[in-house]
Amino acid sequence: MTKTFAIVALAAVAAAGSVSAQALPERIKTAGKIVVANTPNYPPMEYKDPATNTLMGLDIDLGLALAKQLGVTVEWSDIGFEQMVPSVATGRVDIIHSGMSDLPKRRDALDFVDYMKSGAQFYTTAARKDELKSETDLCGKNVGMSRRTSFPDETAKWSAANCEAKGLPAVKVVGTEGSADARTQLKQGRVDAAVQGSETVPYLMTLEKGAYVSIGAPFTAIYQGIGFSKKDTELRDAYIGAMKALMASGEYKTILAKWNLESAALDGIYVNSEAQK
């Protein structure tokens, strides 16, 4: 069973220069809030401060800033990642903002307003840095990653092109219960390496200094996006306007810089991975 908890920062009614609330669907204007699906287990994108249980992260800061532009509050709905798309489809939540990759297979049900670049990144423990220096050193090795993400499929495709195609043994993909479980298995020696989003590995290294090393560069290139129901074009377009305002004011880059992800910033508005004029 999942639970919904309301939060956080009351976003002030649209200040000067903010996007007009008239751009919002009537149901949002009447409610005065956006209900946002978010699973707070993916730092630095979203997580709970261990000391205060307060939601933190880049997605949280950006979500609140966008809501402020629209003159509404945010209610974060803490639900399982696999339930997010059905929850948007049934109207249980209005949008998804939770480190979700803008993937073609998800666009059958969702439109995405993208907000940062990402990619899948191999990493291992510092103790094995001399053994696993390059990506192809992982051929034939056990590599852990969350089974709920796109990483297993992406790793299998990478392995087919870079291991099997060259006569090397395939990467052994080990599905885990999440990124924390993958790290636990890595520390225990049950897997040789792991995969996380390129936006999370630097943060992980700041938390556990000297514990991990990256292996090569990200081996995929994708965008993270805010997900909207295909039929909810009015709300999607309102968010596009709010994102434009944050980019124009510089607040967008300030939020990414706060989380040391300036290099992941986009140069404009992207919808379903396509640049918008």
Regarding whether 239 and 187 lie in a shared domain, the answer is: no
Q: How many domains does the chain have?
A: 2
Query: Residue 206's pLDDT is what?
Result: 86
What is the structure's pLDDT at 65?
98
Answer for the pair 42, 146: CB distance below 8 angstroms, yes or no.
no
**SS3 annotation, 241-263:** HHHHHHHHHCHHHHHHHHCCCHH
pLDDT at position 8 is: 37
Token pair of 104 as six digits: 């073609």
User: 214-273, pLDDT tens digit by residue?
Assistant: 999 999 999 999 999 999 999 999 999 999 999 999 999 999 999 989 989 999 999 999
Task: Considering only residues 9 and 253, tell me which one the structure prediction assigns the higher pLDDT.
Answer: 253
Do 138 and 8 lie in a common domain? no
Q: What is the pLDDT of residue 81?
A: 86
Same domain for 113 and 126:
no
| Residue 23 and residue 81 in one domain | yes
Q: Could you say which DSSP state residue 11 is in?
A: P
User: What's the pLDDT tens digit per position in 28-43?
Assistant: 999 999 999 999 988 8
Tell which of 163, 192, 215 closes a domain: 215
Tell whether 114 and 228 lie within a shared domain: yes
Q: What is the pLDDT of residues 78-101, one digit of tens each?
A: 998 889 999 999 999 999 999 999
Q: Which of 215, 238, 259 is the last residue of a domain?
A: 215
| C-alpha–C-alpha distance, residues 277 and 212, integer Å | 41
Within this chain, do residues 22 and 143 fall inside the same structural domain, yes or no?
Answer: no
pLDDT at 14: 37
**Within this chain, do residues 140 and 179 fall inside the same structural domain, yes or no?**
yes
For 94-104, b where at least 16 C-beta lie within 10 A, e where not — what string?
A: bbbbbbbbbbe
The tens digit of pLDDT for each residue in 133-150 reads 999 999 999 999 999 888
Cα 44 from Cα 32, distance rounded (Å): 28
Which pair of structure tokens corresponds to residue 268? 């404009």
End-of-domain residue from the set 196, 215, 234: 215
CATH number at residue 101: 3.40.190.10
How many CA within 13 A on the CB side of residue 275?
5
Q: What is the pLDDT of residues 98-128, one digit of tens each?
A: 999 999 999 999 999 999 999 999 999 999 9
User: How far is it, in rounded angstroms, from Cα 239 to Cα 234?
Assistant: 9
**Same domain? 114 vs 131:** no
- Asked if the model's pLDDT at residue 4 lies above 60, the reply is no
Domain of 230 in residue numbering reads as 3-118+222-275
> Which candidate, 245, 270, 239, 276, places its Cα nearest to that of 95?
239
**What is the dihedral sign for C-alpha 251, 114, 119, 38?**
positive
Shared domain check, 266 and 160: no
Residue 10 has pLDDT above 50, yes or no: no
Query: Residue 39 in 3-state DSSP?
Result: coil
Spatial strand order in the sheet of 3-4: 3-4, 73-78, 33-37, 95-96, 222-229, 110-118, 270-271, 274-275
pLDDT tens-digit map of 164-180? 999 999 999 999 998 88
The reply to whether 206 and 238 lie within a common domain is: no
pLDDT at 19 (0 to 100)? 61
The model's pTM is 0.79
User: Are residues 209 and 271 located together in one domain of the fold?
Assistant: no
The closest alpha carbon to 76, from 8, 24, 140, belongs to 8
Tokens found for residue 43: 């730092």
Residue 196 shares a structural domain with residue 264: no
